[in-house]
Amino acid sequence: MTNKLYSGTIFLIISYIMFILYGCQELNTPKSLHRIDILTAFKNKNTINLSSIAENIQYVQLETKKGVQLGHSPRFYLNESYIIAFAAKQIYLFNRQTGKFIREIGHFGQDPGGYRNTIFNYPYDDEKQICIAHGWGMNEYLLYDLKGGEIISISDLGNTFAILNDSIYVAYIKNLTGIEDKKLIILNINQNNSIVNIFPNYLKFDPSGNFAMWKAQGWFYKYSDELHFFEQFTDTIYQVTPEKLFPKFVLVMGKFAPPYEEQNKSDFLKHDVKEYIFIENIFESENYLLFKIKIDTNIFNGIYYKKFGTTKVSDSNYFINNIDSFIPLIYSTISNNYLIGYCEAFNIKKWFEDNSEKAKKLPQYLRKLEDIKENDNPVLMLVKLKE
C-alpha cells in the first residue's frame, strides 16, 4: 500500500512538473502551427484575382536616364519615402511617389567600397533600412545605408545571412558535404562575430557518387520585425530567435516533396528534379503567406490565408488584375504590407498594342503609359494588401 501511494505521489509530481514546463514552453512559442496543404491546392489550381487580397494599386513609373537602366530580374522594396531597387550589379534609390531617380547605393567594382554582386534573398532589411551585397572575399558582405555610404564590411557569415537585431546576425550554413552538423549560427557582430548559439542540422545525405551542386540556399524573410527561415528540401518555415527555432508553417507537399537525400545526385538534378515542387520567394503579411511554386520550368503563385487556414494556388505565375483591368501582376516582394509587382516597359507597350479597346476605358493616369518606350525602366505596381 505504501509503495502504491509513493508511486502515485511521484507520478503526480512528475506530471505537475511536465505541465509547468510545457506551459512555459507554450508561452515562448508562436500561438499556432499553420499547416499549409500545398498538395491539395496544387491539384486544384485556378486563376486568382488580385481583388481577393488587395485594396488598391498605385503605379509608379521609374525614371529612366543615362546610366540608370535596371538590369534583368530586379527586386524591389519600399518605405514611406523611397523605392529601393536591386539588380545583379545595381542598387538604385527612387522617390516613393514619383519614381524619380535619387541616387545609386554603393557600386559594383573591385575597388574600395565596391561589391561583387547583390543578393537575391534578403538584399534589404526593412527594419534597419540597410542594403546588403556580396563582397569579393569568401563569405564577405558589404552593408550600405540608404544615403549610399558603406556601413560595414563583414566576413565569415555563411552562404547567406540575415539581421536579427543591432548586434545579432544569423548565418545559414549550407550542407555541402552531406554530413554538415550546423544549420544556423547566431553571431554577435559587435564582439568579433562571436558565436552566441548554434542550431544543429539533423538531416544528412550520402556524399559519395556523382556530386552535383544544388544552387538553392536558405531563405530568410522578416515579418513584423520577426525573422523567419526556410531551407529547400525541407517542409517547415521557422521563426528565428537567438535562443530557439519555433516551427510556424508546415508545407504539406506529399509525393511532390523533394527528397533531402537526393539533392547532391547529378541524375536527380538532370531528370527526377522535374517531378517535384520547390518553394521559392516566401513573404508574409498580416493576413497572408505568399510563395512561388516551381515545378520543372513552370512557376505558380501560392497564397495561404492565415485567418481562414486555407490555401490557393494559381494556374500561372501572375494574379489577374480585376481591380482596374490593366496588366496582370507578377510579384517581386512584400515590403511594409505592400505587395510589389512590376512590369517591363516592352510588355506594357505590347499590352496597349494588343488591347486597344480595353485601353480606351482606362483612367487617364494609366493611359499615359501608352507613351512608354521599350527600353524604359519598369513600372511598379504597389498593391496595398487587405488588413
Tens-digit pLDDT profile for residues 301-324: 999 999 999 999 999 999 999 999
Q: What is the dihedral of CA 61, 280, 287, 321, to 10 degrees?
A: 40
Cα separation values, 166 from 111, 123, 186, Å: 27, 17, 13
The count of structural domains within the chain is 1
pLDDT score of 149 more than 80: no
Structure letter (DSSP) for residue 118: E
Whether the pLDDT of residue 24 is over 50: the answer is no
Whichever domain contains 201, its CATH number is 2.120.10
Cα separation of 173 and 171, whole Å? 6
Q: Is 26 part of a structural domain of the chain?
A: no
**Domain span at residue 162?**
34-385
The reported pTM is 0.87
What is the percentage of the chain residues whose pLDDT exceeds 70? 88
**pLDDT(294) > 90:** yes
Which letter, b or e, does each residue of 95-116 get, where b requires 16 or more Cβ atoms within 10 Å of its Cβ? Answer: ebeebebbeebbbbeeeeeebb
163-199 confidence digits (pLDDT tens): 999 899 999 998 888 889 999 999 998 888 889 999 9
Residue 154 has pLDDT above 70, yes or no: yes
What pLDDT is recorded for position 111? 87
| Dist. CA 84–CA 147, nearest whole Å | 12
Q: How far apart are CA 19 and CA 287, in angstroms?
A: 32
- Looking at 7-159, which runs of residues are DSSP E strands? 34-37, 54-61, 75-78, 82-87, 90-95, 101-104, 107-108, 114-115, 117-118, 124-125, 130-134, 141-145, 150-154
Residue scoring higher pLDDT (208 or 247)? 247
pLDDT recorded at residue 215: 63
pLDDT of residue 198: 96
Q: Note whether residue 264 is domain-resident.
A: yes
- In a domain, residue 12? The reply is no
Residue 29 pLDDT exceeds 50: no
Select the more confidently predicted residue: 30 or 325: 325
pLDDT per position as a tens digit, 41-81: 999 999 999 999 998 999 999 999 998 999 988 999 999 99
Residue 160 lies in a domain: yes
Q: Establish if 29 belongs to a structural domain.
A: no
Across the chain, what does the average pLDDT equal?
A: 87
**3-state SS assignment for residue 41:** helix
Residue 25 belongs to some domain of the structure: no
Rounded CA separation 375/387 (Å):
36
- 29-51 b/e with 16+ CB inside 10 Å = b? eeeeebebbbbebbeebeebebe
Give domain status of residue 356, yes or no: yes
**Does a structural domain hold residue 7?**
no
